[in-house]
């Protein structure tokens, strides 16, 4: 049988069976046509069954679907690495491919730790944010702090957590700066830790402190990259030393991720000594289908004013949620293509998914967070419908 994610299998409700998907809609076996508010965990920015995306993948399948990157390169990976190099700011020029976001984060941290080993000044500590989520692999869990059962794998003597206040950040750099290999953040928007939003001034100060203490600044833009915060990348605002991208990288059509390092980090591995080399190589890194999908996804993103579409989502969400007021609501947060209602008690959201399903909306709140990260192609009517379903839920109780 299928072992489902993040779920107690004994008490789990029967999952929906999707038989077709197009645009923002999921079509279920029992004849529902649901607006997907999650974009399949933030990834499906063009929606489902986009003919351009389909064609790009099919065209590549008809050439070859995969060839290992060990000792071999191919046109899609060459084009994609060049494209990312031209899109990303500064010297974020050196792209390491992998198969998922969690692995991209592992790679970033491994790079940071080895960077200092290569310099013969080893540093093991990693600083991350309170409420952070960076994936489900071991190091990613260790540095994570997302308030659910991952906590049993979190922390340890090499992990430092900071608030998103400049005051706390400065104290932590003062106390740990000299032993930190890296500071990793989900920039501006923390997803699975509760859709928390913080100010760009924090990133600017963090950049200064990373420079002062020679700490590698890592952005986990797996969720925020490709527009979700309203910026193409948060890296466009304040530059990190390493950035991880995933999810929307391929438009959500195939799983893939990248860890892109700037020249300073890359040069720490470059030399005549084989021991300096970065010893990593997932079997499916730079898979040709995923590279073809990513190239087409980026083309669609650039040619169809996606930043304008994301701005509209934000404007409509702000307008429609402005009159939602209920004692059970703790906070409403809206940023770019994300909106979230945080409630005071988890119980307030019990049964919401089933309620939404009857109204033709697919929503999967977690803990105290009712959130939407829809495909960017969503229309105004569809957005208004989602938010009306939220409003009905709060008005009925
Ligand atoms: C910020 C962030 N980092 C890492 C990951 C892990 O990505 P993946 O699920 O592709 O391993 C996620 C997934 O939700 C994420 O939101």
Q: Which long-range contacts (CB under 8 A, 24 or more apart) does 57-66 make?
A: 57/253, 57/254, 57/289, 57/292, 57/293, 57/296, 59/292, 60/288, 60/289, 60/291, 60/292, 61/289, 63/288, 64/288, 65/287, 65/288, 65/289, 66/284, 66/287, 66/288, 66/289
- The residue among 303, 318, 337 that closes a domain is 303
Nearest protein Cα to ligand 1, atom 7: 101
pLDDT the model gives residue 211? 98
pLDDT band at 396 (very low <50, low <70, confident <90, very high): confident
Within-domain flag for 210 = yes
Catalytic annotation on 220?
yes
Ligand 1 centre distance from Cα of residue 187 (Å): 13
Query: Quick one: 124 and 41 in the same domain?
Result: no
Please work out whether the CB of residue 146 comes within 6 Å of at least one atom of ligand 1: no
Query: Quick one: 97 and 151 in the same domain?
Result: yes
pLDDT, tens digit, 9 for 90 and up, residues 271-288: 999 999 999 999 999 999
pTM above 0.95, yes or no: yes
pLDDT the model gives residue 231? 98
Catalytic annotation on 133?
yes
Within-domain flag for 241 = yes
Closest ligand 1 atom to Cα of 100: 10
Query: Quick one: 164 and 237 in the same domain?
Result: yes
pLDDT, tens digit, 9 for 90 and up, residues 137-179: 999 999 999 766 566 787 788 999 999 999 999 999 999 999 9
Within-domain flag for 12 = no
Ligand 1 centre distance from Cα of residue 102 (Å): 6
pLDDT the model gives residue 155? 79
pLDDT, tens digit, 9 for 90 and up, residues 336-376: 999 999 999 999 999 999 999 999 999 999 999 999 999 99
CATH number, domain of 298, equals: 3.40.640.10
CATH number, domain of 37, equals: 3.90.1150.10
pLDDT band at 255 (very low <50, low <70, confident <90, very high): very high
Ligand 1 centre distance from Cα of residue 134 (Å): 6
pLDDT the model gives residue 150? 63
- Average pLDDT over every residue of 85-113: 98
Query: Quick one: 297 and 311 in the same domain?
Result: no
pLDDT the model gives residue 128? 98
| Sequence-ordered list of residues with C-beta below 8 angstroms from that of 86, at least 6 positions apart, any chain | none
Query: Quick one: 148 and 163 in the same domain?
Result: yes
Query: Quick one: 324 and 180 in the same domain?
Result: no
Considering the chain, what is the average pLDDT of its residues?
97
Nearest protein Cα to ligand 1, atom 13: 135
pLDDT the model gives residue 89? 98
Within-domain flag for 13 = no
For the chain, how many structural domains are there in total?
Answer: 2
- The residue among 257, 283, 303 that closes a domain is 303
Query: Quick one: 298 and 384 in the same domain?
Result: no
Query: Quick one: 187 and 218 in the same domain?
Result: yes
Within-domain flag for 383 = yes
Q: Which domain holds residue 334?
A: 18-50+305-396
Please work out whether the CB of residue 105 comes within 6 Å of at least one atom of ligand 1: yes
- The residue among 303, 332, 365 that closes a domain is 303
Query: Quick one: 228 and 343 in the same domain?
Result: no
Within-domain flag for 227 = yes
Query: Quick one: 178 and 325 in the same domain?
Result: no
Within-domain flag for 134 = yes
Query: Quick one: 201 and 312 in the same domain?
Result: no
Query: Quick one: 45 and 171 in the same domain?
Result: no
């Amino acid at each position: 049988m299928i072992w489902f994610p993040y779920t107690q299998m004994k008490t789990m409700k029967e999952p929906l069976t999707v038989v077709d998907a197009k645009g923002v809609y999921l079509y279920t076996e029992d004849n529902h046509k649901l607006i997907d508010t999650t974009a399949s965990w933030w990834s499906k920015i063009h929606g489902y069954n986009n003919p351009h995306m389909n064609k790009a993948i099919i065209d590549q399948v008809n050439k070859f679907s995969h060839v290992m990157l060990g000792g071999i390169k191919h046109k899609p990976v060459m084009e994609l690495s060049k494209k990312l190099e031209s899109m990303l700011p500064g010297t974020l020029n050196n792209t390491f491919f992998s198969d998922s976001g969690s692995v991209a984060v592992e790679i970033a941290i491994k790079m940071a730790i080895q960077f200092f080993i290569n310099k013969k000044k080893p540093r093991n500590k990693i600083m991350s944010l309170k409420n952070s989520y960076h994936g489900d692999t071991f190091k990613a869990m260790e540095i994570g702090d997302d308030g659910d059962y991952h906590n049993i794998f979190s922390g340890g003597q090499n992990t430092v957590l900071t608030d998103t206040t400049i005051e706390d950040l400065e104290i932590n750099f003062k106390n740990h700066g000299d032993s930190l290999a890296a500071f990793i953040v989900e920039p501006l928007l923390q997803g699975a830790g509760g859709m928390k939003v913080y100010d760009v001034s924090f990133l600017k100060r963090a950049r200064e402190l990373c420079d002062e203490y020679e700490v590698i600044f890592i952005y986990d833009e797996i969720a925020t990259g490709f527009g979700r915060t309203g910026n193409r990348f948060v890296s466009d605002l304040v530059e990190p030393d390493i950035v991880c991208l995933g999810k929307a990288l391929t438009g959500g059509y195939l799983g893939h991720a990248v860890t892109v390092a700037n020249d300073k980090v890359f040069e720490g591995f470059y030399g005549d000594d084989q021991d300096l080399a970065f010893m990593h190589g997932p079997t499916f890194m730079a898979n040709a289908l995923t590279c073809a999908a990513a190239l087409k996804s980026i083309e669609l993103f650039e040619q169809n004013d996606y930043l304008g579409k994301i701005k509209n989502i934000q404007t409509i969400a702000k307008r429609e949620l402005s009159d939602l007021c209920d004692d059970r609501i703790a906070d409403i947060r809206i940023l770019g293509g994300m909106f979230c209602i945080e409630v005071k008690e988890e119980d307030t959201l019990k049964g919401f998914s089933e309620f939404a399903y009857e109204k033709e909306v697919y929503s999967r709140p977690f803990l105290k967070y009712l959130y939407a990260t829809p495909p960017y192609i969503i229309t105004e009517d569809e957005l208004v419908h989602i938010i009306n379903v939220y409003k009905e839920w709060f008005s009925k109780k």
